[in-house]
Amino acid sequence: MKFGITGNVLKPEFETIFKQVYTFLTKNNHEVWLSNNVFIDRSSQTYKTIPQKSIDEIGKDCDIILSIGGDGTILSTFRQVAEYEIPIFGIHIGGLGFLGESNQDTFKNALNSILSGNYFTEKRMALKLNINNNPKISHYSLNDIVIDNGNSPRTLQLHVYISNHFLNTYISDGVIFSTPTGSTAYSLSAGGPIITPNLNVIGVTPICPHSLSARPIILSDNENIRIQFSEENVGMAVSVDGQIHIPIDYTQEVNIARSKFDALLIRLPYNDYYSTLRTKMGWSGNFR
């Protein structure tokens, strides 16, 4: 098999895990390439002799891309290879996140499962952001797209249209548009529902709305969402997965729809979404 590797080099554990993964795979006669955009301006001897490809070449040429880091690293990896729909396997630095399937202690068993074919690929829907219908201002999101007041203390007025039907004017600190994957992120802390990842829907969750009637709503993934603004608000911005931040002004229009590209996440049969959910949410499972 052909593997590409990317990850969060800022985490001190990355280099150790990378060397172990690279050694394990090459000793088992598999081809491995490191994404060459990960180690820009780094001088470590570890990577001097490692074969490298661009992230686009990995997306085109490899069977699987390994993402070493946290859930945020997997989100970033997806955006970089979205159009290639290459399966992503997360090796989590630390404990397990919602998206990673293994960590430093379990990755060898996990990779053995993959190499023996004992795994499956789970499709996760994503969103596409477009501003003013400008193809140069478009991004993919696996978690969420958030419009908020940025550095401004003022509330926003967002006019939200669903497939050309007016939904509501939200007077709030912003609105979160989330995938099922992103429902356990910012949306959850803002009062949105947990949505299991096998559903294809879009969550709309207002942030600190000024009306008790402004409640979260779940939309079909077939809908096109259009957001307009009626007044100037200095500091207003759109963020993608909490990692890309785009300043906008009240004259612009934001469009959100389901991406035609899905995220393909490698899953292992012995891991369980609901078990991970209970652990992350601190649910005991027992009532007394």
Q: What are the residue numbers of the active site?
A: 71
Residues 57, 50: Cα–Cα separation, whole Å = 15
**Angle, CA of 174, 180 and 184, to the nearest 5°:** 70
